[in-house]
Structure 1
Amino acid sequence: MNNYNNYPVISIDEIIRPTHLVIDLNVLRENFKRIKEHVYPAKVMPILKANAYGHGLVRIAQLMQELKADYIGVAVLEEGILLRENGITLPILVLGGIWGNQIPIFLKHNLTITASSIEKLNQVDEIANQMNVKAKVHLKIDTGMERIGVHYYNAKKFLDAAVNMKNIIVEGIYSHFANSEKADLSYTRLQLERFQEVINYAEKIFVEKPLYHISNSGAILQMPEANFDMVRPGIMLYGVYPSSETKKTVEVKPALTWKSIVIYFKVIKPNHPVGYGSTWQTDHNVRAVTVPVGYGDGYMRSMSHKAEVIIRGKRYPVVGTISMDQIVVNIENDSAYNGDEVILIGSNGNSKITVEELAEWAGTIPYEILTNINTRVPRVYVE
């Protein structure tokens, strides 16, 4: 099974690889507390998929269990199994679609299943009956994403079928917003109306009320009317806002710093190109340093000729094409020495580099920057 970066808690002194992440657990605690206060009395399901957005799945799940989160959300079965194997006892919802042959494994590990069709409900009910257990499911309603789930306009038959399953406990009914991080919330409000129609029908037929949830980070920040019984904070839990358009109604702070060190110093002469493709050269002598990080770590190649790093409190440009394992930084006439700290994401003195900046340089979104930080980059947790 994929380890999903199950690093132990180690101290900075124990780091072997100079390129590493430092994750401040106190910042995450405070972010969680602020989200919880903002949405009260709704429950909170922290989303820990994709290695907890790069922060380390197991350790962040342990923190959420310590903080008494109501639920945990992951994307795939393997993530849920890993958490169970590491002592996580909180309810865990696997948000992704399922195959029939996965169902016994879900039930064995007491993982909550996303049921996205009547056919899958029947499979779950049949296998739960064979195993003499009750399967916990959340019914997925498609209100406008067109990924998985029963369309809102076909939901009545789906809910009717779920009510009649003898070996299934419907713990929740949920959907997902497509555009809740945007300034224009018209489509999000349309999705909310569709979901409300489904809830109105569910209220008539379920004896035991399920948990209704649709609100992701953007909706938590911008649409309190969508909180219902539970919310699902993802990227905002880690201190990054879903987009520049999103209203920052909850103050959260980044919990992650990405660091490395200078491992080589050199002087580059004029007309001596740097890196693969010889895409950059200088017309005068410059001082430069090499840093052991590259696209193999998730420092994306598409940031070539745009990225900057911080050394000794000052920002410097990355020059040449970003390699798999190394980058070259032009420090012009300044000084730097082997072992000097290099900040890739984070701050030093008055200089700061954000996840959002890396996303802009790479032509992508902050989500991709965080989730692409490779598992070969050690995670160090500090209190």
Structure 2
Amino acid sequence: MHAPDHAQDASGPVQSGVVDTRPTRVRVDLDNLSHNLGRIRAHVGVPVMAIVKANAYGHGLVPVARHLQAQGVDQLGVAFVEEGVRLRQAGVTTPVLVLGGISGRQISQYIAHDLEITVSSLDKLHQVEAAAEAMGRRAVIHLKIDTGMERIGVHSYSSRPFIEAAAASRWCELKAVYSHLACADDPGSAMTALQLERFLEACAHFDRIGAPMPLRHLANSGGVLHFPQTWLDMVRPGIALYGVLPDPASRRSIDLRPVMSLVSQVVYFKVVKAGNPVSYGATWAPSTDTRVVTIPIGYGDGYPRALSSAGDGRGGAVLIRGRRHPIVGRVCMDQFMVDIGQESAWNEDEVVLIGRQGDAFLGAEELARMAGTIPYEIMVGLNERIPRQYVGGVAE
């Protein structure tokens, strides 16, 4: 049984007494999310940690996590303790790993909310042990080994004392050891093999000291798509889980479906005379009389200003009535304009900014290319001014 389509603001309920009728919304297809999770599981054959940080890549942290929990996902991953606490407060009981670096004053919050901790240095291990002992509760930890990212984690070549201390800890339950791949989005990367070699060499120290081998996880979306040797005991898909390729060089080695659509409506139509400039800065003007429509979304919503057009052939585009039309002039904070030439459009016609309309498709990957950025930034940049609408999924 499928739940009816419904709109929900991922940042919380709509203000009391206010009905959310904004025509612009992020539409999240939960059936496609289920499809992607199932395809990834079948592809890798090991447990999956679904990454839901940054508001589930713009899809809505709590609704996405609840849906993944209903699908029996093995683990969830977030960036900050606040994201993990929010999941617990929303009733999510699936194991949650906080991937980011920790501050000592936060450690009690991890333990109190049953969140798994990334321990990235010997000093932080001692801080976690002290907090756990003071609370009388063991902390569940994942050791972070740096194999080439140079972000957080103990260097693989100096990790032996770190591993020994964690394995011997009385107040820490060592669940896993992991690293992060820097170049796996590119299937031609030689760096990935080097990182795998460094990681496995560090993990071999568990056998040397006679300690049980914890779970080993290394593969991000790029690893899942391109490098089977990195799958090990668990994988951590992020952007691929939402049906988007992480890089132009990436291969679609799994049948993935986009989960996010961004839709709006035409709110104004006018004829612009030849030579009359459109939008701030007067950077674009038509060479002949043309029809221009206004769309109620802008950079205040996280839609990139870089999609503005100055008439140089660059800039963004949208789909109206199944056809692609260019953005003209500068994207404003709350609106932008589109040139539809001599075609027709009516107020309240649907406008697709990301997604499919008829036979036409405009993906987050292409939008990112037009904006000179990456699809991650496009998706996570869509902020809480835009309501989220969830379609599909199993009724609770």
TM-fit CA distance, 1:349? 1.5
Alpha-carbon distance in structure 2 between the residues aligned to 1:323 and 1:110: 44
Amino acid at match of 2:254: V
Q: 1:50 aligns with which of 51, 54, 74?
A: 54
TM-fit CA distance, 1:164? 2.2
Asked whether the 8 Å contact 1:135–1:167 carries over to 2, the reply is: yes
TM-fit CA distance, 1:118? 0.4
Determine the structure 1 residue equivalent to 2:71: 67
Alpha-carbon distance in structure 2 between the residues aligned to 1:23 and 1:7: 16
Asked whether the 8 Å contact 2:30–2:390 carries over to 1, the reply is: yes
Q: 1:344 aligns with which of 353, 377, 383?
A: 353
TM-score, length basis structure 1: 0.96
Go from structure 1 to structure 2 and tell me whether the alpha carbon gap of 1:206 and 1:15 turns closer, same or farther (over 3 Å shift).
farther
Alpha-carbon distance in structure 1 between the residues aligned to 2:387 and 2:163: 45
Amino acid at match of 1:268: V
1:30 counterpart = 2:35: yes
Determine the structure 2 residue equivalent to 1:318: 327
Alpha-carbon distance in structure 2 between the residues aligned to 1:23 and 1:99: 34
Amino acid at match of 1:223: F
TM-fit CA distance, 1:351? 1.4
Amino acid at match of 1:178: A
Matches for 1:224-263 after TM superposition, within 5 Å: 224-263=228-267
Asked whether the 8 Å contact 1:7–1:378 carries over to 2, the reply is: no
Asked whether the 8 Å contact 1:7–1:379 carries over to 2, the reply is: no
Query: 5+ unaligned residues in a row in structure 1: which ranges?
Result: none
Q: Deviations over 1:218-269 (max 9, x none)?
A: 1111111111110000100000011222222211010111100000111111
1:356 counterpart = 2:333: no
Superposition CA RMSD, Å: 1.5
Amino acid at match of 1:222: H
Determine the structure 1 residue equivalent to 2:298: 294
Q: 1:377 aligns with which of 386, 390, 396?
A: 386
Determine the structure 2 residue equivalent to 1:20: 25
Asked whether the 8 Å contact 2:364–2:379 carries over to 1, the reply is: yes
Go from structure 1 to structure 2 and tell me whether the alpha carbon gap of 1:304 and 1:335 turns closer, same or farther (over 3 Å shift).
same
TM-fit CA distance, 1:374? 1.1
Counting aligned pairs with the same residue, the percent is: 48
- State how many pairs are aligned: 376
Asked whether the 8 Å contact 2:10–2:63 carries over to 1, the reply is: no
TM-fit CA distance, 1:382? 0.5
Alpha-carbon distance in structure 2 between the residues aligned to 1:315 and 1:241: 22
Alpha-carbon distance in structure 1 between the residues aligned to 2:333 and 2:48: 38
Asked whether the 8 Å contact 2:54–2:380 carries over to 1, the reply is: yes
Determine the structure 1 residue equivalent to 2:5: none
Q: 1:102 aligns with which of 103, 106, 109?
A: 106
Alpha-carbon distance in structure 2 between the residues aligned to 1:331 and 1:173: 54
Alpha-carbon distance in structure 2 between the residues aligned to 1:208 and 1:201: 10
Asked whether the 8 Å contact 1:36–1:44 carries over to 2, the reply is: yes
Alpha-carbon distance in structure 2 between the residues aligned to 1:220 and 1:78: 27
In terms of mean alpha carbon deviation, does 15-24 or 259-268 score higher?
15-24
Determine the structure 2 residue equivalent to 1:88: 92
Go from structure 1 to structure 2 and tell me whether the alpha carbon gap of 1:171 and 1:328 turns closer, same or farther (over 3 Å shift).
same
Alpha-carbon distance in structure 1 between the residues aligned to 2:181 and 2:150: 11
Alpha-carbon distance in structure 1 between the residues aligned to 2:291 and 2:56: 38
Q: Deviations over 1:311-349 (max 9, x none)?
A: 111111110000111010111111111111000011112
Query: 5+ unaligned residues in a row in structure 2: which ranges?
Result: 1-8, 310-314
Asked whether the 8 Å contact 1:163–1:205 carries over to 2, the reply is: no
TM-fit CA distance, 1:15? 4.8
TM-fit CA distance, 1:205? 3.2
